[in-house]
Chain A
Amino acid sequence: KNEVEQSPQNLTAQEGEFITINCSYSVGISALHWLQQHPGGGIVSLFMLSSGKKKHGRLIATINIQEKHSSLHITASHPRDSAVYICAAQTSGSRLTFGEGTQLTVNP
C-alpha cells in the first residue's frame, strides 16, 4: 500500500460542476502539498497546508490531521482546469512522498 493514496484516479466532469479530489496518507507529516501538472508536463505548486483550509480563486484545499485526509475542491469547473492533480506528503525534512495523481478532464 502506498503511503499516499489519491482518489479517484480519473475524473470527468461537465463545465460548471463542483469537483472533489481526495488524498489519504498513512505517515506523519509536517505539511500536505497539492500540485497541478499541465497537459504539457509542467508542474505547479497549488497549496501547502498543515491544518485547516486554504483558498485560492476557485480552488480550496482542506486537511484533517486526525483522519490523515486532505481534499482539493474546484468550484465552477472550467475546461482549463483539465490537468493531473497530485497530492504529496512532506515527511522527513523537506522530502515529499507523492500520490499517483488524479487525471481531471472538464468538458465544455
Chain B
Amino acid sequence: DAGITQSPRHKVTETGTPVTLRCHQTENHRYMYWYRQDPGHGLRLIHYSYGVKDTDKGEVSDGYSVSRSKTEDFLLTLESATSSQTSVYFCAISGGASGGVGNQPQHFGDGTRLSIL
C-alpha cells in the first residue's frame, strides 16, 4: 500500500471553529489531492497540488484553503467550519517522484470523518 497517512481519522467540532486536516505521504509523489465524499455526490475534488507551494482549486473549493510547504505534507483548512462541510475527506497522491502529468493511478488515504455540529 502507498504510504499515505491522514490525521485525524475522526473529528467532531462546532460551527465556526477552524479545522485543519493533514495528509502525509512517504512516496515522494508530486501530485496530492483533497476530496470530499457525500451520499448522492460521489467523490468531489476540493483542491489539489502539483508541487511544493503549487496548488489549484477543484470543483468544490469554497470555504477551504490548502497549503503544501514540503513534498510530503498537504494540509486542508476549514477557516470557519459550517455544517455543510460535514463529510468524509480523502487525500490521494499520484505522479511518482519524476512528476510527469501522464496517466497515473491515484492512491488514497483511509479518510477522515469530520462532523460539524
A residues near B (Cβ < 8 Å) are: 30-31, 33, 35, 41-45, 48, 50, 86, 88, 90, 93-96, 98-101
Give min CB distance, A37 to chain B, whole Å.
Answer: 9
Give how many B residues have a beta carbon under 8 Å from the other chain's beta carbons.
Answer: 24
Cβ contact of B42, chosen from A42, A86, A90, cutoff 8 A? A86
Which stretch from B14-22, B60-68, B70-78, B104-112 is at the chain A interface? B104-112
Interface status of B25 (Cβ within 8 A of chain A): no
B13-61 contacts to A (CB < 8 Å): 31, 40-45, 48, 50, 58
Give min CB distance, A52 to chain B, whole Å.
Answer: 14
Q: How far is the CA of A97 from the CA of B48 in the complex (A)?
A: 13
- Residue in A33, A45, A88, A100 with the greatest tally of chain B CB atoms within 10 Å: A45
Closest to A88 in B: B43
Asked if B40 and A94 sit within 8 Å, CB to CB, the answer is no
28 pairs, A vs B, C-beta closer than 8 Å: A33-B105, A33-B106, A41-B88, A43-B90, A43-B92, A44-B108, A45-B106, A45-B107, A45-B108, A48-B103, A48-B104, A86-B42, A88-B43, A93-B101, A94-B31, A94-B95, A94-B101, A94-B104, A94-B106, A95-B45, A95-B48, A96-B45, A96-B106, A98-B42, A98-B44, A99-B42, A100-B41, A101-B42
Chain B residues touching A, majority SS: strand
Given A30-B103, A41-B110, A45-B106, decide whether A100 and B40 contact each other with a Cβ distance below 8 A.
yes
Chain B neighbourhood of A88, CB < 8 A:
43
Chain B neighbourhood of A30, CB < 8 A:
103
